[in-house]
């Protein structure tokens, strides 16, 4: 099969296999409507992966990429196998449409043009910035486009506001398949459909846990892994885990059992005997929580600890070698990050429903904790740099302590001295009011205050 770009692509069939599931649905859709056309915002590491992956998928294409450094988008398209003459610059929505009609991929510096293109079905935000991701998402919705939000930081900060805007626009706003929160939601839905009690769900941390990590320490490792050192540190200092588990909590109602979660070193074989209630021999004070493990044998996967509601089912689970009980670990031993993301775009278009979305009420908050001593007048850098890290709390505890949401920490100005290890709050830090994400979060907080006062 040859895609619109002219490069070779895998067909729906092949090797005598019958097309099934989502692939079969997409085959029928393509026959009637043509391929699902994606507009991509951002061509960094994740965006490049997406451009390459989509080029290998039948029934899906990248129509345009918006990127402030156009060469990054061009390089991504070339890496994916697009011929250089099939990659064109476009500064308007009309020019993007003409490029797509000609079977080419458009590159633009203007996300407004991308979002306004009539041939774009769905926009994927891969900018990596909560603020820019918010702007892209709002512009896409204004133009009637479905949105796949890769910025989990934006989701945990103003996800409820974006959800409201998506509803008004009649479009789908979804979290991204392939990331741990959405992968865990899949497991939870499976377990719930079987009637299991959900005791705990979460992820296994895929690298060392060093809360005070800074980019300088990991520059060599990042280079060897073709990563930005800051991005690597987001994982090492635990910020990504805290962000992801906050998103999972806010999408499911699972709560952090304790601030920061437990994060035990529970291996695959004993995970269900550790992340279960004290009544069942574990460490949790209650059932229905979100957490993570530092143990072996689960990473890079996700898990859902379940408890059967009948002794016969418990007996069968043990007989099937799922574990000794009374709680059992259902484990998805992988998540494919950006490689799975196009599936969320496809499902948004075909099914008109999200893979994962925030609840209408808050459950957890990812706050910020100082990595170093901060002085009045300091302007904070980005997540994964030198100033702060993420820390998951229950939403009400965070609100009562005036904790500063992690998504508002970048460009915040320090008002009072803060010692390393102390929380950032609205009393010792002032978020940047010029950022759209700050303004939207303030609206949410005001609405929540009215709700709590009622």
Model pLDDT, residue 8? 42
Indicate the pLDDT class of residue 95, thresholds 50, 70 and 90: very high
What does the pLDDT average to over 392-411? 97
User: Percent of the chain, pLDDT > 70?
Assistant: 97
Sign of CA dihedral 41, 42, 45, 51: positive
Model confidence pLDDT, tens digit, residues 122-164:
999 999 888 899 999 999 999 999 999 998 999 999 999 999 9
What does the pLDDT average to over 23-40? 97
Burial of 311 (0-12, 13-18, 19+ CB in 10 A): exposed
What does the pLDDT average to over 236-241? 96
Measured in whole angstroms, the distance separating CA 30 from the mean position of its chain's CA atoms is 27
Count the residues in the chain.
Answer: 454
Indicate the pLDDT class of residue 6, thresholds 50, 70 and 90: very low
Model pLDDT, residue 391? 98
Model pLDDT, residue 15? 73
Are the C-beta atoms of 85 and 3 separated by less than 8 Å? Answer: no
Model confidence pLDDT, tens digit, residues 332-372:
999 999 999 999 999 999 999 999 999 999 999 999 999 99
Model confidence pLDDT, tens digit, residues 66-80:
999 999 999 999 999
Model pLDDT, residue 323? 96
Burial of 454 (0-12, 13-18, 19+ CB in 10 A): exposed
Query: Considering the entire predicted model, what is its pTM?
Result: 0.94
Indicate the pLDDT class of residue 13, thresholds 50, 70 and 90: low
Top-confidence residue, 39 or 3: 39
Q: Phi, psi at residue 334, to the nearest 5°?
A: -155, 160
What does the pLDDT average to over 375-379? 98
Model pLDDT, residue 14? 67
What does the pLDDT average to over 211-221? 93
Q: Which residues contact 301 (CB under 8 A, 6 or more apart)?
A: 183, 203, 204, 331, 332, 333, 334, 335
What does the pLDDT average to over 86-109? 98
Q: Quick check: 398 pLDDT over 70? A: yes
d(CA 150, CA 148): 6
User: For the chain, what is the mean pLDDT?
Assistant: 94
Model pLDDT, residue 226? 81
Residue that has been written with the tokens 């019958």 in this structure: 18
d(CA 267, CA 275): 11
Model pLDDT, residue 450? 79
């Amino acid at each position: 099969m040859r895609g619109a770009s002219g490069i070779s692509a895998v067909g729906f069939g092949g090797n005598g296999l019958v097309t099934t599931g989502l692939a079969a649905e997409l085959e029928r859709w393509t026959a009637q409507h043509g391929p699902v056309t994606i507009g991509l915002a951002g061509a960094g590491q994740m965006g490049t992966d997406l451009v390459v992956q989509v080029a290998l998928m039948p029934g899906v294409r990248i129509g345009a990429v918006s990127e402030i450094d156009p060469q990054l988008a061009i390089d991504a398209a070339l890496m994916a196998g697009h011929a250089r003459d099939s990659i064109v610059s476009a500064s308007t929505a009309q020019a993007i449409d003409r490029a797509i009609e000609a079977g080419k991929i458009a590159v633009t510096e203007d996300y407004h043009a991308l979002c306004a293109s009539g041939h774009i079905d769905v926009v994927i935000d891969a900018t990596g910035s909560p603020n820019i991701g918010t702007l892209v998402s709002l512009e896409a919705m204004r133009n009637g486009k479905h949105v796949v939000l890769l910025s989990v930081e934006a989701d945990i900060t103003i996800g409820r506001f974006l959800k409201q805007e998506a509803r008004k626009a009649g479009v789908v706003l979804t979290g991204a398949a392939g990331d741990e929160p959405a992968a865990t939601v899949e497991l939870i839905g499976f377990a719930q459909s079987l009637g299991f009690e959900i005791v705990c769900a979460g992820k296994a941390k895929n690298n060392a846990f060093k809360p005070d990590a800074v980019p300088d320490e990991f520059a060599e490792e990042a280079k060897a892994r073709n990563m930005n050192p800051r991005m690597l540190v987001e994982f090492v200092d635990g910020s990504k885990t805290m962000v992801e588990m906050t998103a999972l909590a806010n999408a499911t109602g699972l709560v952090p059992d304790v601030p920061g979660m437990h994060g035990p070193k529970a291996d695959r074989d004993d995970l269900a005997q550790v992340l279960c209630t004290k009544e069942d021999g574990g460490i949790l004070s209650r059932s229905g929580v979100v957490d993570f493990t530092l143990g072996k044998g689960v990473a890079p996967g996700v898990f859902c600890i379940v408890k059967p509601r009948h002794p016969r089912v418990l007996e069968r689970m043990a007989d099937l070698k799922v574990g000794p009980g009374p709680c059992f670990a259902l484990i998805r031993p992988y998540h494919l990050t950006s490689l799975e993301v196009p599936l969320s775009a496809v499902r948004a278009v075909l099914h008109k429903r999200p893979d994962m979305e925030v609840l209408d009420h808050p459950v957890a908050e990812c706050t910020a904790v100082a990595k170093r001593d901060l002085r009045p007048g300091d302007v904070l850098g980005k997540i994964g740099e030198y100033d702060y890290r993420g820390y998951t709390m229950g939403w009400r505890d965070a609100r009562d302590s005036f904790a500063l949401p992690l998504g508002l920490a970048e460009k915040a100005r320090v008002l009072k001295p803060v010692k390393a290890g102390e929380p950032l709050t609205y009393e010792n830090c002032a978020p940047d009011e010029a950022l759209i994400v700050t303004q939207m979060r303030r609206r949410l907080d005001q609405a929540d205050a009215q709700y709590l006062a009622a």
